[in-house]
Structure 1
Amino acid sequence: MTASKFVLGAAIAAASLLLPHHVAAQAARPAPATASFDIDIRASEAVRDLLRRHLELNRYRDVADLDDAELARLMTLAERDVRELLATLGYFTPRVLVTREPGPRPVVVIAVDTGPATVVSDVAITFEGDIATSTDADAIRQRETIRGEWLLPAGRAFTQGGWDDAKAQAQRELVLKRYLAGQIAESTADIDAPAHSARLGVRLDSGPLYRLGEMQVTGVKRYDPSLVPRLARLPPGSAYDRDQLIQAQLRLTGSGYFDSAFLLVDPQSDPSAAPVQATVGEAPLQKVVLGVGLTTDSGARASVQYIHNRVPGIGWRAVTDVNIDRKTPSAQTEWTAIPDERGWRWGALGRIERLDDDTLITHGQRLRLGRQRSEEHIERSVYLQLERATVQTQAGLPVTGLENGAGSAISANYVWTGRYFDSDTSPTRGWGVGIEFGGGFTLTGQRSPFQRTVVRGLWLRPLAQGRLQIRGEAGAVLARSAAELPATQLFRTGGDTSVRGYGLREIGVTLPGGQVVPGRYLAVGSVEWQRPIEWNGRRTAFESALFADAGAVASRVGDLRAAVGVGAGVRWMSPVGPLQADLAYGVRTHKFRLHMRVGFVF
């Protein structure tokens, strides 16, 4: 057995007794028309499958001139072959009887009683190299992970396949982080056949700690070569981590500048400063993307996106989108510079939009200039924003009053978002927090200062049966009652991504005439239980969900009254993220509403 040695505690008996009659019997694979003999394997199903695939005796069935003496010799060899194959399943003291039944064509009968399975009694995992002596918290955690995730622990049945898998898994965990040249220095499986037990030992040599050096880039022709290391965010001196290299590749391909990216660290390089070899394939300088979609909030949607990855004169990347749908048509252009050495990048945005919530139509315009920085889990942005909103009825008449969302303002804003999920597209555990803090002055009517704060969070926790998702959001705008704040600074909620059971932005402040306008305070909460759907005892890519959502909007904190929606849904874990279909009942409106959306965004 590869990379292992077996020490038998007692000699295996040379002769075997006939098996009991209750042992299952099934013929081997169908013999060809010219077969010299047939094979009848009488054993458990797992053993039959193993012997069918690997028994050496099968090779000789097509020998036409096989005589009785040669067949007798092959039968003797077959018994030894069977015992060796059974040892790979952890059966070291089987009873094997190979006999011949006469007939027009001889039948070789192989009867097997495996006896008790060998069970792992003890596992010793030791280390040498840097990992053995390092007091770094990551090294200690890595040692604990290797031991804790060992695939063949004490009490588990021993098999050669399980032994090989356990060693391979331990080595993968070793080289996954910090120790790129790690290897198995020694492995021992000490088998006590009479006691049906196995003592396992593995010694892992981590070798030296690998730290990243400078990035060596190939494949860049039309863009600034410094773009690759700045987008990859793999600082020299950091410890090697394969997952970090994969995430860097995803950042490069997701940046829009590159269609492909491959990062490699050579184990033969200097461990103290191992160069990161980056090979990239550049995306076209300009690209047009057409799209269609469907949401229950806005209906059918069509979009056109034009991308220019290096605007002449300034070298910024420009992405211009035009979205056409019944409820929320919009046009936006966003320009961003390449990141600087600290990861900060300048950006500018211009947007116009029209929001139709079935009672009011809000036209908004927005200009933004600022800087943003993306790290492994955290995104930050600081920007100045100028915005304006006008509001009218469905008949096109202007809406009067201070709380209608019409107005203009200038503000300075800071946004911090932390994402700690196990997946960016289809998370099953983790949490996220977002904080928005801004302040400025209104520009319509009497100028008035205001301050706006929004806090939101999402928590995913696996349960014994499924997963619990808790979502919450709270917001407040502080300003004088006479301040004419634009709707983009105020709050409304309801729809696919907030409170299900209600239409898009249906929850707000209801005026005496029945019109719903935005408010200064927001509170939203949701609890959802997601459970995998099984078919024939196996988990599928579908999940069921039960949920309860609640949301409230008001102009004063004391006027907050929750609108509740409850329902059930189905999730499909598609390659691009979860596809959700929910049927929700709005307790306030006494109506059912279907909600559909795709993808995960926080």
Structure 2
Amino acid sequence: MKKCRLTSLLFCLLFFSAMPSYADTDLTIEGLDGELDDNVSAYLSSIKESEYSTSLRFQSRIKENITDALKALGYYNPDIEFVIEGDESDPQADHELIVNVDPGLPTIIYESDIVIEGEARNDPDFRRLVDRSNLNLGQVINHGNYEGLKGSLRNLALQKGYFDGQFVATKLEVSPSRNQAFVHIHYKSGPRYSFGATTILGSQIEEHRVQSLVPYKPGDPYQSIQVGELNQNLSSSEWFSSISVEPQIDSETEDKSLPMTVRVAPQTRNQIETGLGYSTDVGPRGKLSWKKPWLNKYGHSIGASVMLSHPEKTFTANYKIPLEDVLHDYYLVQYGFKDEDDNDTDSQEQNLSFERHWLYDKGWHRTIYTRILYEDYVQASESGNSLYVLPGITFSRVRSRGDTMPMWGDKQSINVEYGDPNLLSDTRIVRVTGHTGWIRGIGRNHRFLTRLDAGGAFADDWSEVPPSLRFFVGGINSLRGYGYEEISPKDDNDELVGGAYMATSSLEYQYRVVGNWWGAAFIDVGDAWTDTPEWKRGVGLGIRWASPVGPVRLDFAYGLDADPGDEFKIHFTLGPEL
């Protein structure tokens, strides 16, 4: 028995050692570059490397694929030669199959017969589409451009309301012997449909207010982009939980108008949101928000929120009154209470504001308002209470392109307030603040962020100015490497008193390490002062994560001008970068 097993083992070893090993074959394409090389590579990618060989059958298959790839780009007469390197007599030797390709002369468009009939004949979008099709006389024929133009004509017709459009003739002829191509595309658009009446179904808001969200008028030429805009406008109103916009294409009308039906369902009457967060500047914080997105048939809304953290407790409430242009014009009445106990500030601040808002198409937001400020405070060795009536104006804009961490974006704002004793203010004051921030990306892996904030308060009697109208800087969104609002002028007791002016700037570079994780390096400079600035600097490194709920930032910062022993700070926060 043992002898039998030993014999079997020896037989297996001899058998497998005698089996020939399979050789590897490499495939190399030479003579092509640019889009010709790319297209040939795409055609050949369907062949597995394990199928490579030097056989005539495989060479025929390669030649057929290369020929088809070149024809698609207008090269109908290629010259293809094969060279085999390696010992063909040795089946175990590795080989290389070299394919030398001369694409030959390109096939030129000799006749370009592209005709648009019907109302689209004079439509500039159709003319532009044909001009940019790369199917003009003298150009190299490209089958992708030919099929692409047909598809683009269909899509454009649907987008612009030529619903009866059809091709009368489509033909691409090629004479390989003469390297000539003949393009024939005849498209008959028929009449262009227009928007008809828009019917609103299921709305709890007054009809004319919902109709103000419609971005077109009956009789305007149909455009699908305006149907999408209508859907977006209805969603932005926050009045509805579901929205359906349906063009009634099957409706037969003599004037080719297209009735629109909008079906909506009311939004829930009450919305509650909670949030928890943490920042090393202010510690743990929690937020509770409540909102009624629609209060009555006029579309009024009301909301309130409470935010709690160690240094600050705030409560805000607002009442919004939309005007005729619901999305762009509205009144807002707001009340806010803030209790701050941090550093050398102990303040209870109340604000009541009456605001008029305008939103413009280019993203600018203008607000004219009057706010009434009452503040009871202790600031260092100063204490008192203040009453101010402050008319003001604000211009702001935020733009971005991208997702959680966009590669392009900017934010600008400027605010001016004025108080006067004749308007019940304790002293005459003009307060101006401004902000600008920019995000720019290079490629996919490099981002640059820069920010500049500045402000000034000009008062007849500085001793009458409460802490909320003075300036303090420091912290994650101000000057990293320093504590939250711990930088300002100090009195004789070395306590913070707040400054009449402030300026901070930041420059940050980010590099994508992997996926949604980025590394950052930054430098911040700034100060809050009354007489002469003493610029403070902070530098550091950070980690960024583009999380599903927003950018997460962790910074390790060093205050170059901080007090000895207090130079190192860790800043952590969740929220927008601008």
TM-score by length of 1: 0.67
Tell me which of 196, 200, 213 is aligned to 1:217.
Answer: 200
Quick one: which amino acid aligns to residue 427 of structure 2? S
1:12 matched residue in structure 2: none
| Partner of residue 414, structure 1 | 393
Percent pairwise identity = 19
Q: Is 2:499 aligned against 1:519?
A: yes
The 8 Å contact of residues 279 and 572 in structure 2, kept in 1 or not, is answered as: yes
Equivalent of 1:546 in 521, 542, 546: 521
Partner of 1:296: 280
The 1-side partners of 2:574 and 2:241 are apart by 23
- Decide whether aligned partners of structure 1 residues 432 and 303 sit closer, same or farther in structure 2, where only a CA change above 3 A counts: closer
Alignment partner of 1:341 out of 325, 328, 334: 325
Matched, 1:600 2:576: yes
Counterpart residue number, 1:378: 364
Q: Is the 8 A contact 1:119 1:157 kept in 2?
A: no
Which residue does the alignment assign to 1:431? 410
User: Which of 259, 262, 272 is 1:278 aligned to?
Assistant: 262
Query: What pairs with 1:357-368 in structure 2 (closer than 5 Å)?
Result: 357-368=342-353
Cα distance in 2 for partners of 1:79, 1:306 equals 72
1:468-483 pair list within 5 angstroms:
468-482=448-462
Return the offset for 1:215.
Answer: 4.3
Instruction: Please give the alpha-carbon distance, in whole angstroms, between the structure 2 residues aligned to 1:296 and 1:200.
Output: 68
1:572 to 545, 549, 553: 545
C-alpha distance in 1 between matches for 2:157 and 2:487: 53
Note if 1:491 corresponds to 2:471: yes
Q: 1:594 to 1:147 in 2, by over 3 A?
A: farther
Tell me the distance in 2 between the aligned counterparts of 1:508 and 1:199: 77
Q: How far 1:193 moved relative to its partner?
A: 6.3
Q: 1:204 to 1:519 in 2, by over 3 A?
A: farther
Preserved CA contact (<8 Å) 2:141 2:181: no
Task: Give the CA deviation at 1:165.
Answer: 8.7
Instruction: Quickly say closer, same or farther: Cα 1:356–1:335, change in 2 above 3 A.
Output: same
8 A Cα contact 2:194 2:220, kept in partner = yes
- Give the aligned residue type for 1:290: T
Asked if 1:504 is matched to 2:484, the reply is yes
Change (3 A) 1:145 1:257: farther
- Distance of 1:541 and 1:411 partners within structure 2: 44
Residues 143, 532 of structure 1: alpha-carbon distance in 2 compared, 3 angstrom cutoff: farther
Map of 1:124-523 to 2, 5 A cutoff?
128=116, 133=122, 143=128, 147=132, 167=149, 170=152, 174=156, 215-220=198-203, 222-230=204-212, 232=213, 234-236=215-217, 246=228, 249-250=231-232, 252-263=234-245, 277-311=261-295, 316-341=300-325, 343-376=328-361, 377-392=363-378, 399-401=380-382, 407-423=386-402, 426-441=405-420, 447-463=426-442, 466-482=446-462, 484-523=464-503
Whole-Å Cα distance in 1 between the matches of residues 517 and 449 of structure 2? Answer: 16
Partners of 2:500 and 2:528 within 8 A in 1: yes
The letter of the residue matching 1:336 is K
Distance 1:82 1:458, change over 3 A: same
- Deviation digits for residues 394-414 of structure 1, max 9, x if unmatched? xxxx6443xx79623111122
In 1, Cα distance between equivalents of 2:511 and 2:46 = 37
What is the rounded CA distance, in whole Å, between the counterparts of 2:308 and 2:560 in structure 1? Answer: 31
Q: Aligned-pair distance for 1:188?
A: 6.9
The 1:258/1:360 distance shift into structure 2, 3 A limit, reads: same
Residues 563 and 268 from structure 1, CA distance in 2 versus in 1: closer, same or farther, beyond 3 angstroms?
Answer: farther
3-state SS of paired residue (1:253): helix
Counterpart amino acid of residue 542 in structure 2:
G
Whether the 8 Å CA contact 1:442–1:484 is kept in 2: the answer is no
User: Which range is displaced more, 283-292 or 168-177?
Assistant: 168-177
Q: Is the 8 A contact 2:473 2:484 kept in 1?
A: yes
TM-score, with structure 2 as normaliser: 0.69
Whole-Å separation in 1 of the counterparts to 2:156 and 2:267: 35
How many Å apart are 1:285 and its aligned residue?
0.9
Amino acid at match of 1:256: E
Consecutive unaligned residues of structure 2, counting only runs of 5 or more, are: 1-23, 29-39, 83-96
Alignment-mate amino acid for residue 455 of structure 1:
G
* DSSP 3-state at the match of 2:288: strand
Q: Equivalents in 1 of 2:376, 2:108: separation in Å?
A: 75
Q: Which moved more, 1:416-425 or 1:486-495?
A: 416-425
| Structure 1: 5+ residue stretches without partners | 1-20, 26-43, 56-74, 98-110, 393-397, 535-539
Counterpart-to-counterpart distance in 1, 2:394 and 2:344:
31
Q: Secondary structure at the match of 2:391?
A: strand
Range that drifts further, 379-388 or 543-552? 543-552
Deviates more, 1:174-183 or 1:505-514: 174-183
How far residue 243 of structure 1 moved from its aligned partner, in angstroms, is: 5.9
Structure 2: distance between partners of 1:84 and 1:445: 89
Q: Which residue of 2 aligns with 1:591?
A: 567
Tell me, in whole angstroms, the C-alpha distance in 2 between the residues paired with 1:365 and 1:274: 54
The answer to whether the 8 A contact 1:522-1:551 is kept is yes
Partner of 2:480, secondary structure, is coil
Describe the superposition over 1:55-84 as per-residue Cα deviations: whole angstroms up to 9, x where unpaired.
9xxxxxxxxxxxxxxxxxxx99x9999887
SS at match of 1:217: strand
Q: Does structure 1 conserve the Cα–Cα contact (< 8 Å) formed by 2:271 and 2:291?
A: yes
Cα deviation for residue 187 of structure 1 reads 7.1
Q: Secondary structure at the match of 1:499?
A: coil
Asked whether the equivalents of residues 567 and 584 of structure 1 are also in contact (C-alpha less than 8 Å), the reply is yes
Are the equivalent residues in 1 in contact too, given 2:520–2:543 (CA < 8 A)?
yes
Q: Deviations over 1:353-387 (max 9, x none)?
A: 12343332332111111221323312222221111
Q: Is the 8 A contact 2:247 2:258 kept in 1?
A: yes
TM-align CA RMSD: 5.1
> How far apart, CA to CA, are the structure 2 residues paired with 1:456 and 1:422?
20
Q: 1:332 to 1:134 in 2, by over 3 A?
A: same
Aligned amino acid, residue 529 of structure 2: A
Q: Distance in 1 between matches of 2:486 and 2:536?
A: 10
Of residues 488, 507, 530 in structure 2, which corresponds to 1:555?
Answer: 530
Alignment size in residue pairs: 505
Equivalent-residue separation in structure 2 for 1:155 and 1:468 (angstroms): 42
Return the alpha-carbon distance in structure 2 between the equivalents of residues 569 and 182 of structure 1: 58
